[in-house]
Structures are given as structure tokens and as C-alpha cells.
Amino acid sequence: MKTIKFFAAAILLTSASFASIAADQLSNQPAAGAQKIGVVSVSGVNNLSALEAELASKAEAAGASSYRIIAAGGKNKMYGTAEIFN
């Protein structure tokens, strides 16, 4: 029982720390001062959650402070594109 509690706490702390450093996804329009710095894309992921996580990771790696998903699709394997902003 202690092992289950330990792993649950470890997973919770890991996901909380990752979420705090990731780039923010914009809901509709970028902020007034935001400048588009590029586009990132991902393909070959299994579901929408993984697609969003990969796009967020690529946006962060590119130095973006925020991103907006502009395209997503696929059947067995998903693909997507996001604009990144500074």
C-alpha cells in the first residue's frame, strides 16, 4: 500500500512540475504584444492528448512563451501544427 501511495505522489509531483514550465496554449487570439516566431508540427502520435503534449514540448524547445494549435487530424496516427509566439 505504501508503494502505491509513493508512486501516486511521484506521478503527481512530476506532472505538476512539467505543467508549470511548459509554454501556454492560447485559447483564441494571441496577446496584443505577442509576436509569431514560427510554426511547429508533430506527426505519428496515438491520441490528441499526446499530440498536444508534443506540440507544447516543441514550442517550449523553440523558446516560445505560448502556442496555438491551428491544425490537427488523422485516423490511426495523429498529426498537428501549431503557431508559436514570443
pLDDT digits (tens, 9 = 90+) for 12-28: 555 544 444 556 665 55
Given a contact cutoff of 8 angstroms between Cβ atoms, the answer to whether 73 and 27 are in contact is no
CATH code for the domain in which residue 64 is found:
3.30.1660.10
Share of the chain above pLDDT 90, in %: 55
Instruction: Quote the pTM value.
Output: 0.65
Please tell me the total count of domains within the chain: 1
- Per-residue exposure over 56-76, b if at least 16 CB sit within 10 Å of its own CB, e if not: bebbbeeebebbbbeebeeee
What is the DSSP secondary structure assignment for residue 86, as one 8-state letter?
-
Kindly report the average pLDDT of the chain as a whole number: 79
For residue 43, pLDDT beyond 70 = yes
Q: Residue 34: which domain range?
A: 2-85
For residue 81, pLDDT beyond 80 = yes
